[in-house]
Structure 1
Amino acid sequence: MNILLLGATGRVGSELLQRALDDGHEVVALVRSQAKLNAASPHLYTIQGDVLQSADLERAMRAIPVDSVVSALGTDKNNTLSRVTPSLISLMDKHAVRRIITVGTAGILNSRNDPGLYRFQANESKRKTTTAAEDHLAAYRHVKASDLDWTIVCPTYLPAGDEYGNYRVRKNWLPEDGQKITVPDAAAFVYSQIASSEYSQSRAGIAY
């Protein structure tokens, strides 16, 4: 499979990259700095650029015939996710790429306490600010309104640690009393969705 990976130098993204390369997939990684990319393989195509620049996204999309897009991009005070998502959707439509899996946040899952609200709106999230959740929410709304085959994986607190495999997943909700999930386990689930349609057109809440 040919995969366009965004956020390949991040904690989850670097795990995703190694898993895909180990399985022999062809991976295009769009990165701002090649020096931060801790992987080398004849199956890896590195494009240096900025995801917020449509021309750079276009170069990455055209590097090889892409089958799916996996985004482990983080958010920041620049509203990166809400800015890049419309361009990404447009390019996927242009190049007839249907499948996208993104890493979101548990804050945009449904609230148990306040029906009709998201967790971050109902103060179920432990984060003191809502800036990141709002950026993730904007990206989610763009993807949901598209014609793409999408899955947004929404982990709660992501500490470093080992891969245990005993996590729980629930569509559009955080598993009850879910508190955390390690980076390797979160990456394992994200990676599994490339070849799965179980959580298509859904947010997938994930936690131990």
Structure 2
Amino acid sequence: MMKLAILGATGRTGVHLVEQALEEGHEVVAIVRTPSKVTTEHENLKVVSGDITSTASLKEHFEGCDAVVSCLGAGTLRNVTLYSESIKIIVAAMRETSIKKLVAMTSWGSFSDPNDRGPFLIEWILRPLVLKNVLENMAVMETYLKEEAQDLDFTTVRPPGLKDGPKTDLEIAHEERNFVGGTATTMLRADVARFLLQCLKTDEFNKKWIAIGVKP
């Protein structure tokens, strides 16, 4: 069992991650802006108020943890800097507390690669018209990890569009690319959380960007 620091624990994916981690017997430190928003109660859950713009704040809460999982999500589609700015603080705090394992959630299509085009909806509608700023900032974060954090065992997980519902036991396909061919363009947040936890238990995905999906 591990002690996990979870960022974005009140988000729609983070809530599932906290619940599933507790179900598996892990200790969880949920680092949130507003602790009162966490409604889950468990003897292995510690809810703390943390500031993702402060290395000192995160360092305090990372102490004694085995891994960090980020489900942070931008609250805007314009002028997005959350991912690129927070990752530097997270990495600095991890280094100061000697934590090596990081799993962070991004998205299908975070990179625009002409040699790895995703589904039409993402490449030609959502990316240019809706999610351009979010995806580009996710790409900055992923590039930072690849170029500046080789001392860490990081994994970025790229799910497709997200939807609500209870977790399933469906097989989760994964590929080291921008998307997963032959899978649905949406996925349950609870199943994404299930894969995030899986990444903590293996070295298979260390220092990789992993797209995931489920068969339609």
TM-score normalised over the length of structure 2: 0.85
Structure 1 alignment gaps of length 5 or more: none
Q: Residue in 1 aligned with 2:12?
A: 11
Q: Deviations over 1:87-144 (max 9, x none)?
A: 1111111211101000011122574xx1288999x93563423110111111111111
Give runs of ≥4 in structure 1 deviating > 4 Å.
116-120
Q: Residue in 1 aligned with 2:208?
A: 202
How many residues matched? Answer: 203
Alpha-carbon distance in structure 2 between the residues aligned to 1:56 and 1:119: 40
Query: Relative to structure 2, which stretch is displaced further, 187-196 or 40-49?
Result: 40-49
The change in CA–CA distance for 1:157 and 1:118 in structure 2 (over 3 A counts) is closer
**What letter corresponds to residue 71 of structure 2 in structure 1?**
A
**How do residues 13-162 of structure 1 correspond to structure 2 at under 5 angstroms?**
13-62=14-63, 65-75=64-74, 76=76, 77-108=79-110, 111=113, 114-115=114-115, 123=123, 126-127=126-127, 128-129=129-130, 130-145=132-147, 146=149, 147-162=151-166
**What letter corresponds to residue 174 of structure 2 in structure 1?**
V
SS in 2 for 1:19: helix
TM-score normalised over the length of structure 1: 0.88
Shift of 1:78: 4.6
C-alpha contact 1:110 1:119 (8 A) present in aligned 2: no
The change in CA–CA distance for 1:118 and 1:85 in structure 2 (over 3 A counts) is farther
Alpha-carbon distance in structure 2 between the residues aligned to 1:35 and 1:18: 16
**What letter corresponds to residue 154 of structure 1 in structure 2?**
R
C-alpha contact 1:107 1:119 (8 A) present in aligned 2: no
Q: Residue in 2 aligned with 1:186?
A: 192
Query: Relative to structure 2, which stretch is displaced further, 50-59 or 122-131?
Result: 122-131
C-alpha contact 2:59 2:97 (8 A) present in aligned 1: no
Alpha-carbon distance in structure 2 between the residues aligned to 1:9 and 1:34: 9
